[in-house]
Amino acid sequence: MADFTDKAQEAVGRAKETAGDLTGNEDLKAEGAADTAEAKVKQGVDAVTEKAGDVVDAVTEAGSSAVDTASEKAEDVKQSVGQAVDGAKQQVSEIADDPAAALSDSRVVISAIAAAVLLLFVVRRRRQPTHRGRRAAKRAAKAGIGRALSR
């Protein structure tokens, strides 16, 4: 309804502007131009409001879809983790029931050695100071400053 009212106001403004031009009445011509401009501004605001509503609807729909997808993925991960935990519990109970048989299994011994080596490596890495991160941060800061100064 507002669109029709704005179009009518624009037509009246043009008519006043034309009448003022034909009669030489500058006040009527200016009043018509003002009416026309006001109607066009209102139409523009209505168009922008409509587009903003469309964008809000699209963003809301996309957000809802993303939440649904994330929920589905989270449920899949939860099920996978549950299955892995159940399998680990079963293996631990088997080892607890017969530790000698577990030690005779070469896979268990190799896994224990690999875990110990990995743990030793991680502990050793944490003790060593790392300068790589600081150097990378300094280079990034210098590059950013250089780009900012070159603009």
Quick: pLDDT tens for 61-106: 888 888 888 888 888 888 888 888 888 778 777 777 777 666 666 6
Q: State what percent of residues in the chain have pLDDT above 90.
A: 0
Q: Can you tell me the distance from the alpha carbon of 116 to that of 124, in angstroms, rounded to the nearest whole number?
A: 12
Q: What is the pLDDT of residue 102?
A: 63
Burial 71-87 (b: 16+ CB within 10 A, else e): eeeeeeeeeeeeeeeee
Could you give the residue ranges of the DSSP H alpha helices within the chain? 2-23, 26-97, 99-104, 106-127, 132-150
Do 34 and 19 contact (CB within 8 A), yes or no? no
> Can you tell me which residue has the tokens 């080596």?
117
Mean pLDDT of the chain: 78
| Global pTM exceeds 0.85 | no
- pLDDT of residue 39 exceeding 80: yes
Task: Grade residue 40 by pLDDT with cuts at 50, 70 and 90.
Answer: confident
Do 29 and 20 contact (CB within 8 A), yes or no? yes
Neighbours of 10 (CB within 10 A): 18
Q: Can you tell me the distance from the alpha carbon of 106 to that of 93, in angstroms, rounded to the nearest whole number?
A: 18
Do 9 and 35 contact (CB within 8 A), yes or no? yes
Instruction: Give the model confidence (pLDDT) of 11-22 as tens digits.
Output: 888 888 888 888
